[in-house]
């Protein structure tokens, strides 16, 4: 029996609110259809206070257009898009699990770290997702979608051991003007590539830098460039000031350490130019079957 407190939104029942950001809110929702059909989704809709603001509406529409190009096993899928009572929404694949930030917090609270084989599994999955996004095309016209917010809170882990990159809300195509006006940076400072944070320039290598920070945090239990303020953090990233990963995670395989550290170079030209190159450096560290089961156990 449907709880009468559930909010109806078109053909969707909003079961519980999952989160709210600067532009939109997300819900676990249920979509019903004929003959007992039902589908659980993550419904994302623009905030009521912004639904008449052209700039925010255009950002939301851009997210929908870019998400429609991203059909990949390690990317949370777009299922539906539309407007109800002039309020735009996206229906996205609902991942039954938690995000990587929760796992890091869990490990930190217990004085442990994520095992290196699981980190390698996550690295390969997110690297594969970025490789696909960076080479995405629309009617054979290259788009090259840069996520711009690769971080633990946007990496989802399911109870089945799946890894999904989510939230392309501030993603943009590499065919747009590759510079940003002062004050329009989007993303999280500790994971932000120096060329983006300090110069507004971005490309695929900016996403790879953010992935490197995330993987370093998974292995070491701390972020590489954290300072006492955002300015110090950015300065550390610009100068490449950090502890060697081999000192903080001596148990990690050398190929994994080399692969992660290769993404953290301050200069974009010194990083892998493409996610595919990063995947090659991971070598044979990826053992899908047993590792996926171990990740599923950790999520449970």
Q: Which residues pair with 178 in a beta bridge?
A: none
Whole-number Å distance between alpha carbons of 46 and 147: 19
DSSP string over 41-91: EEEEEE-GGGTT-HHHHHHHHHHHHHHTT---TTBPPEEEEEEETTEEEEE
Q: Which member of 3, 86, 96, 149 is catalytic?
A: 149
Determine contact, residues 127/282, Cβ cutoff 8 Å: yes
Whole-number Å distance between alpha carbons of 299 and 134: 28
Whole-number Å distance between alpha carbons of 86 and 66: 21
Q: Is 207 a catalytic residue?
A: no
Would strands 12-20 and 7-9 be described as parallel, antiparallel, or unpaired? antiparallel
Output phi, psi for 61, to 5 deg.
-65, -35
Neighbouring C-alpha atoms within 13 Å toward the C-beta of 41? 22
For the chain, state the CA radius of gyration.
Answer: 20
Structure tokens at 265: 């170079």
Annotated active-site positions, please?
Answer: 149
């Amino acid at each position: 029996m449907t709880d009468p407190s559930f909010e109806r939104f078109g053909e969707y029942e909003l079961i519980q609110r999952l989160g709210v950001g600067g532009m939109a809110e997300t819900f676990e929702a249920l979509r019903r259809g004929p003959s007992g059909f039902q589908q659980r989704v993550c419904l994302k809709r623009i905030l009521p206070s912004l639904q008449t603001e052209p700039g925010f509406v255009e950002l939301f529409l851009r997210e929908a257009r870019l998400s429609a190009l991203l059909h990949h096993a390690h990317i949370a899928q777009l299922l539906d898009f539309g407007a109800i009572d002039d309020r735009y929404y996206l229906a996205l694949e609902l991942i039954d699990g938690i995000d990587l930030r929760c796992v890091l917090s869990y490990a930190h609270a217990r004085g442990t770290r994520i095992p290196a084989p699981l980190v390698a599994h996550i690295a390969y999955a997110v690297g594969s997702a970025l490789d696909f996004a960076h080479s995405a095309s629309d009617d054979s016209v290259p788009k090259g979608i840069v996520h711009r917010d690769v971080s633990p809170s946007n990496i989802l882990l399911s109870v089945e051991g799946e890894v999904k990159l989510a939230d392309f809300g501030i993603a943009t195509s590499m065919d747009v003007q590759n510079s940003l006006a002062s004050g329009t940076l989007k993303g999280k400072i500790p994971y932000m590539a120096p060329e983006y944070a300090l110069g507004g320039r971005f490309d695929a290598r900016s996403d790879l830098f953010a992935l490197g920070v995330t993987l370093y945090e998974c292995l070491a239990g701390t972020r590489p460039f954290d300072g006492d303020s955002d300015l110090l953090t950015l300065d550390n990233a610009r100068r490449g000031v950090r502890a060697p990963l081999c000192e903080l995670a001596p148990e990690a395989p050398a190929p994994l350490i080399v692969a992660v550290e290769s993404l953290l170079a301050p200069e974009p030209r010194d990083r892998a130019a493409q996610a595919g190159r990063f995947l090659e450096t991971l070598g044979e560290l990826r053992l899908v079957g047993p590792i996926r089961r171990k990740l599923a156990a950790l999520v449970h």
